[in-house]
Amino acid sequence: MTENRRYYYLKLKESFYNSETMVILESMQDGLLYSNLLLKMYLMALKSNGVLMLNERLPHTPQTIATFTRHQVGTVERALKVFIEFGLVEVLTDGAFYMADMQLLIGQSSTEGERKKKERSRLERKKLLPGGAVDICPPNGEVDKCPSILEYRDKEIRDKSTENREGERARAFGRYENVRLTDIELAELQAEFPTVWESYVEKLSAYMESTGKTYKSHAATIRRWAAEDGKKGGGLPAYTYKEGESL
């Protein structure tokens, strides 16, 4: 089997459909359609290392994805928004859709993580990932003085700190994009505080930005603040944080 051909098959773990992301996805309205579409998109992206390409030059669009997967265009457009929110799909700077976990679904288990990092590094070097940097390190081997490597290393540390114990990646919320919540944490907060969860996210975002404070768990901090407000006022107010206000 050649190097290219070994990428033409998809490997799903036994627990794939029992993962938290897939359980939430399939519980949505049209969730089973989204699940079927996601699997077909993975298969479509196999030959191009996760990027959905119609040919060597043209990326797939929602319309062409709908044609090849035999789903309605509206379904594809709604599903893509969900996939992007869940971190399953990323939009590259050239407009192509990239299946973010593709490198975890091909090849040997022992090299899954390294293959995903290598593919992301390749996309970053080509400036395809939003915010991706070009490797501008000098050829003298002084890695610790290389800005791009130091930035990548710091990002790896930050990303690792935002994973929960199951390894689920957290996403940024709030005006200052500093409140980190996983999809499960966000869904739980929305269920527990349906009318004020967003107010507390903004409150925490502004407070951390203005004071420089950090918290181990942002979801736990929001719950604690909501509980304290509930004890004070007998309910959960739609709170708006003001700059300079002490908490």
Query: What CATH number is given to the structural domain containing 99?
Result: 1.10.10.10
Pair (208, 232) in one structural domain = yes
Pair (177, 146) in one structural domain = no
* Cα-based distances in Å from 228 to 161, 199, 218, 232: 27, 15, 15, 6
Pair (148, 111) in one structural domain = no
Query: What pLDDT is attached to residue 68?
Result: 95
Q: Residue 87: which domain range?
A: 5-125
Residue 136 structure tokens: 């501008």
- The crossing angle, in degrees rounded to 10, of helices 218-233 and 197-211 is 110
Closest to 59 measured CA to CA, from 100, 92, 102: 92
Closest to 209 measured CA to CA, from 170, 175, 163: 175
Pair (185, 117) in one structural domain = no
Alpha-carbon distance of 213 to 198, in angstroms, equals: 20
Mean pLDDT by 10 residues, the chain (247 residues): 50 85 92 95 87 89 95 95 92 89 65 61 64 45 46 49 56 89 90 91 90 89 90 55 47
Model confidence, pTM: 0.45
237: helix, coil or strand? coil
Pair (118, 135) in one structural domain = no
Amino acid at position 54, single letter: L
Query: What pLDDT is attached to residue 239?
Result: 43
Q: What is the longest distance spanned by two Cα atoms in the chain? A: 68
Pair (41, 115) in one structural domain = yes
> Residue 98 — φ and ψ, nearest 5°?
-120, 125
Pair (153, 183) in one structural domain = no
Number of domains in the chain: 3
Pair (146, 205) in one structural domain = no
Query: What pLDDT is attached to residue 131?
Result: 58
Do the strands 179-181 and 171-173 form a parallel or antiparallel pair, or are they unpaired? antiparallel
Alpha-carbon distance of 77 to 47, in angstroms, equals: 23
The single-letter DSSP state of residue 170 is P
Query: What pLDDT is attached to residue 113?
Result: 57
Pair (146, 188) in one structural domain = no
> Residue 58 — φ and ψ, nearest 5°?
-105, 125
Query: What pLDDT is attached to residue 60?
Result: 94
Pair (154, 219) in one structural domain = no
Pair (12, 42) in one structural domain = yes
Pair (62, 95) in one structural domain = yes
The answer to whether 69 and 62 have CB atoms below 8 angstroms apart is no
Query: What pLDDT is attached to residue 121?
Result: 67
Q: How many CB atoms lie within 10 A of CB 80?
A: 19
